[in-house]
Structure 1
Amino acid sequence: MQKEHSLEISFADFIFEDHENRIKYYKDRPWIVDIPSGKRVTFGQVKNDAIKIASSLARKGFKQGDTLYFVTYEMAELFLMKIGVWLLGGAVRGCYQGEVPDVYAKQIKESSAKFVIIDLDTIDMIRSALELVNFEVCLVSLGDEPIPDTTHISELLADDGSAFNPPKNINIREDMVEIFNTSGSTGYPKGVVHTHFSCVAFIANMRFLRTEKSVLEIMINYGVGAFGLAMYFLTTGKTIYHINKFDRAQCFRHILTYKPSSIFMYPFLANWFARSDDELAQIRSKDFLHLINIAGWVLDPTTADLLRDKLPNTHLQQIYGMTEFFFATCTKISEKPQKLERCVNEGQDFTSSGHLLPKYEGKVVDLSTGKDLGPHKVGELYVRGPGITRGYLKPGNQIDSTVIDKDGWLQTGDLCFIDEKGNFYIKDRVKFTYKYMAIFVMPIEIENVLQEHPDVQEAGVVGMPNPATNNDSRALVVLKPGRKCSAKELCKFVADRLPTHKQLHGGVQFVKRLPVNKGGKLDRKALKDLAISVV
């Protein structure tokens, strides 16, 4: 893997450093496999195909500093396209495949993107979006068959590569590599700009994670997780299996078919995964799964223990990060699988997100005074380190850098505490908290207790406005198949374990499924709307 001094290097040079020597013994091994299509890219074809794509894009007018936009379910060929763009000194930006044309048009104009990748599922929405764009755009299609009035990727791959010329004078710390969208849970998604420097720092730090020879990831293809795994695995010879259209009914079939040695998922999906008893018994009996990585938020202690008990030979590693700085902490992995480290705070257990990575700093700040807090005191987490974003994208490819203060600290918006050993514990988002009477309530604390109930599959909690109390906590609960449990029983279950201000004064609603946002996480805005709609 790359040495420390290599952070000051272009991203394309970084990922291809000593590439030919590294792949000598595994050039025919798949790098990325798309599920369920089975489309794959091998390590031996990556660089040559990316150069052909870069050459063809250059012939079509793509220049250093340009941006390519994508809306597709595909991943294998998508990352070939991305690398082709990076070889030219350009940037890429992707978006949720089920968005509305207005959002696509806004992002295309905001990014000044004159090249857009689509597939059969997204072409109609993009065509509608382009009617709102006042400049010409070249459409590139992925998939088995060409789409009319688009350039199919096969045409790009037919290029001889002779028009490719490496870019000159790349500004490592300022030039963009990728623009990642925030989840948009509180409004229009923001474009988070990452540069050559921050992207190299991210992939270099991936070596502090435990990884296996293969991973099946259940993530969005336009997010930081898929990006990090793809680029790190390209430099280490490991294989990614990507589920491009997630379906719970098919998920375990894919896992049992491909038998990945690790799985990467969000906690929201892990809650369901850990309570799928029969399927986990099959995985355990075949003994191929050695590691589960959890990212995107924090796993509740009950779910963590269920995974440990049902898959005793499988390591569990938790990662803390966000789009603005990739990731800053991870839990340590011992020789034998063990429980995630945990700590009691205000009478409740929380799982640790681990220690800070090298070259990263973190501090917990009092919400009222701004002063640094000591161990076990809850405040807002600030992070500083090499992988932090340059800022948010503004129209015309401009950047708003005010997200970072004058000393380089990024305000995460996450409530956190640290124990005496330096472990970080994320409790909730500041914006998701609400008051009962005059006391702040963090919904995740109530959700964690509900997850302890044997009949509960998933749970989400919101504050329901009440003039007498400010807010009453209400739970939306999905029960396990075949289980029966009353709202009264769940309210008592919580009341027996939590103080008055954290109890379910707003009651319990049973639902078939909790809403998920574009990033594959629990959509708390939609959860609140759902709770209000059935009052």
Structure 2
Amino acid sequence: MQRDANFANIPEIPFMDFIFKDYDEKIKDYKERPWIVDIPSGKTLKFGQVKKDAIKIASGLARRGFKQGDTLYFLTYEMAELYLVKIGVWLLGGAVRGCYQNEAPDVCAKQIKESSAKFVMADSDTIQVIRAALELVNYEVCLLSLGDEKIKGSTHLSTLLNDDGSAYKPPNNINVKEDMVAVMNTSGSTGSPKGVVHTHYSCIGGITYLQFLKTEDTVLEFMINYGIGAFSTMMFNLWTGRTVYHINKFDRSQYFQHILTYKPKSLVLYPFVANWFARCDDELATLKSKGFINLITIGGWVLDVATADSLTEKLPNTNLQQDYAMTEILFASVTDSFENPKNKLERCKSEGHEFTSSGRMLPKYEAKILDLSTGKELGPHGVGELYVRASHITRGYLKPGNQIDSSSIDKDGWFQTGDLAFFDEKGNVYVKDRVKFTYRYKYDIVSPFEVEAVLQQHPDVQEAGVVGISHPDTNSATRALVVLKPGRECSAKDLCKFVADRCPESKQLHAGVQFVKSLPVNKGGKLDRQALKSLALLYG
């Protein structure tokens, strides 16, 4: 399949009208096929039950006062049952917002009030947080629950599924470019998570643009259930008849066993996990011999060259693709896997370091690079901040009272991504780091990702995280926290020399190396750089 700009035509209709268009006819041959399978519980939602069960849920919610424009707030580890409820909400013209399962009650309360949520859903693992949050909310809500346990004082999902569906009435007069479908929390990589507002139009755009990515009939992933990645994957697969195996609580010690049990044809990996995955030599040898994984998609950030090449070498018959996406702008670019199905990720050198490409911008997306100091637009290989424009990006961030702050998008429609990047002559985008994560060594800007990429080339290194530590003479000095491969030994002096042999003075490990058992992970499943810096400071 070749890229076709017609894929980028976004119909201006309500979101569920788009998803359920000709649905009954489409699924006739695969009604019994699983849409979502939760791991490890094995709870399964089949294509044939989705629409009829969602209508029952919509009817049950309507009987309890849910109206068009209302919001459901959720805190749960479930995925299959959660999406059934979400669809019920969307059928009524409502919106959803979720949160990190171990979030503090006051943060949940803030988000509930910010969203004016009148319906709140939890499971047995999260109910204590929700009860504490609701004590801080100064209005009554309808409490819902899902999972195996029926929670006292709540309406359980099983009750909604026993509804006869007669109270469901499709909403009228939906404004597809204004009305909310979902408020999706950012991962909080540069601060507190923000609520990103997506409408019927932008959600349809996000689903439509996934057609530009190579996909398989089955995928295994462990994405956060309140994020843009899970939303796009679940709804695209419902729309196209594909199966998602979702790991509710990611555990590295169980990951390869889950792969062998479910035999997915594709995997979705964050680079932080891919760094570890690519260096599990024995397990990858087993996967290579089994031969069922055709595709690995990298999202959430970019792979370093050493990790990308390791995956290509150890799984030579598995296609590797990388996309560039953000909660705010959805999927904006992808590597050209349709034209070169077995190629390595393209790479390009910048300031002495090699980077992997996130591909070209998708049709109807525009992008530009602006110099950090002058704001001047830069040409190929000019490094600056990436700005993106498209018709279906977010409306902005949610403010209290269900209001929207659109200040992140300028008067001409450009969204400031906060990513340091450059383009090559072919139009491929290369993302170097978050602007907020960079620091100065004397007069030079240092990207921690660049130094991490060098450390990942060392044969004894499993994972590495780099931060800048304040220094009176040089502004900052670089310190690395390193996880070694099992059974390997390496000194801090060896790693400092390894980096010094490959990097200019500004990117060397002047603040040394500290060995740790693991690196901190943030709420979105990515490397937590704020916690990493706090950890680095503990070592003096």
1:387 lines up with 2:398 in the alignment = no
Rounded Cα–Cα distance in structure 1 between residues aligned with 2:177 and 2:151: 38
1:459 lines up with 2:435 in the alignment = no
1:4, distance to aligned residue in structure 2 (A): 5.4
Contact 1:109 1:133 in 2 (8 A): yes
1:183, distance to aligned residue in structure 2 (A): 1.8
* Structure 2: gaps of 5 or more residues: none
Which of 109, 129, 133 is residue 105 of structure 1 equivalent to? 109
State the partner residue of 2:246. Answer: 242
The Cα offsets for residues 303-340 of structure 1, whole Å up to 9 and x where unpaired, read as 00000000001000001011111120000114542210
Which of 400, 404, 413 is residue 399 of structure 1 equivalent to? 404
1:198 lines up with 2:206 in the alignment = no
1:85 lines up with 2:89 in the alignment = yes
TM-score when normalising by structure 2:
0.98
1:5, distance to aligned residue in structure 2 (A): 5.0
User: What amino acid does structure 2 have at the position aligned with 1:525?
Assistant: Q
State the partner residue of 1:140. Answer: 144
1:520 lines up with 2:529 in the alignment = no
User: What amino acid does structure 2 have at the position aligned with 1:343?
Assistant: C
State the partner residue of 2:187. Answer: 183
1:433, distance to aligned residue in structure 2 (A): 0.5
Rounded Cα–Cα distance in structure 1 between residues aligned with 2:514 and 2:440: 21
State the partner residue of 2:233. Answer: 229
Q: After the TM superposition, which residues 184-333 of structure 1 pair with which residues of structure 2 at under 5 Å, given as runs?
A: 184-333=188-337
State the partner residue of 1:357. Answer: 362
State the partner residue of 2:454. Answer: 449
Rounded Cα–Cα distance in structure 2 between residues aligned with 1:78 and 1:326: 21
Which of 422, 430, 439 is residue 427 of structure 2 equivalent to? 422
Rounded Cα–Cα distance in structure 2 between residues aligned with 1:142 and 1:104: 18
Counterpart secondary structure, 1:23: helix
Rounded Cα–Cα distance in structure 1 between residues aligned with 2:16 and 2:289: 42
Contact 2:7 2:209 in 1 (8 A): no
The Cα offsets for residues 26-77 of structure 1, whole Å up to 9 and x where unpaired, read as 0110000000000010000010011110010000001100000011000001
User: What amino acid does structure 2 have at the position aligned with 1:151?
Assistant: T
Rounded Cα–Cα distance in structure 2 between residues aligned with 1:186 and 1:445: 18
The Cα offsets for residues 443-502 of structure 1, whole Å up to 9 and x where unpaired, read as 101000000000000001000001111100000000000000000000000000000001
Rounded Cα–Cα distance in structure 1 between residues aligned with 2:214 and 2:234: 15
* Structure 1: gaps of 5 or more residues: none
Contact 1:6 1:14 in 2 (8 A): no
Q: After the TM superposition, which residues 480-499 of structure 1 pair with which residues of structure 2 at under 5 Å, given as runs?
A: 480-499=485-504
Counterpart secondary structure, 2:28: coil
Q: 1:522 to 1:178 in 2, by over 3 A?
A: same
TM-score when normalising by structure 1:
0.99
Give % identity. Answer: 70
Q: 1:159 to 1:351 in 2, by over 3 A?
A: same
User: What amino acid does structure 2 have at the position aligned with 1:154?
Assistant: S
1:218, distance to aligned residue in structure 2 (A): 1.9
Q: How many residues are treated as equivalent by the alignment?
A: 535
State the partner residue of 1:339. Answer: 344
User: What amino acid does structure 1 have at the position aligned with 2:86?
Assistant: K
Rounded Cα–Cα distance in structure 1 between residues aligned with 2:63 and 2:218: 36
User: What amino acid does structure 2 have at the position aligned with 1:99?
Assistant: E
Q: After the TM superposition, which residues 49-88 of structure 1 pair with which residues of structure 2 at under 5 Å, given as runs?
A: 49-88=53-92
Rounded Cα–Cα distance in structure 1 between residues aligned with 2:410 and 2:492: 46
1:187, distance to aligned residue in structure 2 (A): 3.0
Which of 501, 511, 521 is residue 506 of structure 1 equivalent to? 511
Rounded Cα–Cα distance in structure 1 between residues aligned with 2:377 and 2:194: 29
Which of 453, 459, 476 is residue 471 of structure 1 equivalent to? 476
Rounded Cα–Cα distance in structure 2 between residues aligned with 1:463 and 1:99: 28
User: What amino acid does structure 2 have at the position aligned with 1:50?
Assistant: A
1:387, distance to aligned residue in structure 2 (A): 2.9
Which of 129, 133, 146 is residue 133 of structure 2 equivalent to? 129
User: What amino acid does structure 2 have at the position aligned with 1:411?
Assistant: Q
State the partner residue of 1:34. Answer: 38
Rounded Cα–Cα distance in structure 1 between residues aligned with 2:260 and 2:478: 40
Rounded Cα–Cα distance in structure 1 between residues aligned with 2:423 and 2:386: 10
Which of 30, 36, 49 is residue 45 of structure 1 equivalent to? 49
Rounded Cα–Cα distance in structure 1 between residues aligned with 2:358 and 2:530: 25
Counterpart secondary structure, 2:320: strand
User: What amino acid does structure 2 have at the position aligned with 1:208?
Assistant: F
Which of 415, 435, 440 is residue 435 of structure 1 equivalent to? 440
The Cα offsets for residues 79-109 of structure 1, whole Å up to 9 and x where unpaired, read as 0010110100000000000111010110001
User: What amino acid does structure 2 have at the position aligned with 1:338?
Assistant: N
The Cα offsets for residues 335-385 of structure 1, whole Å up to 9 and x where unpaired, read as 542210101111111000000111101111111121110101101000001
Rounded Cα–Cα distance in structure 2 between residues aligned with 1:498 and 1:150: 59
Rounded Cα–Cα distance in structure 2 between residues aligned with 1:532 and 1:376: 34
Moved more, 327-336 or 436-445: 327-336
Contact 1:515 1:526 in 2 (8 A): yes
Counterpart secondary structure, 1:9: coil
Rounded Cα–Cα distance in structure 1 between residues aligned with 2:7 and 2:54: 24
Rounded Cα–Cα distance in structure 1 between residues aligned with 2:389 and 2:539: 43
1:146, distance to aligned residue in structure 2 (A): 1.1
Contact 1:180 1:192 in 2 (8 A): yes
Moved runs in structure 1, 4+ residues, more than 6 A? Answer: none
Moved more, 295-304 or 4-13: 4-13
State the partner residue of 1:167. Answer: 171
Rounded Cα–Cα distance in structure 1 between residues aligned with 2:77 and 2:532: 26
Q: 1:3 to 1:428 in 2, by over 3 A?
A: closer
1:16 lines up with 2:17 in the alignment = no
Contact 1:197 1:386 in 2 (8 A): no
1:94 lines up with 2:98 in the alignment = yes
Q: After the TM superposition, which residues 141-160 of structure 1 pair with which residues of structure 2 at under 5 Å, given as runs?
A: 141-160=145-164
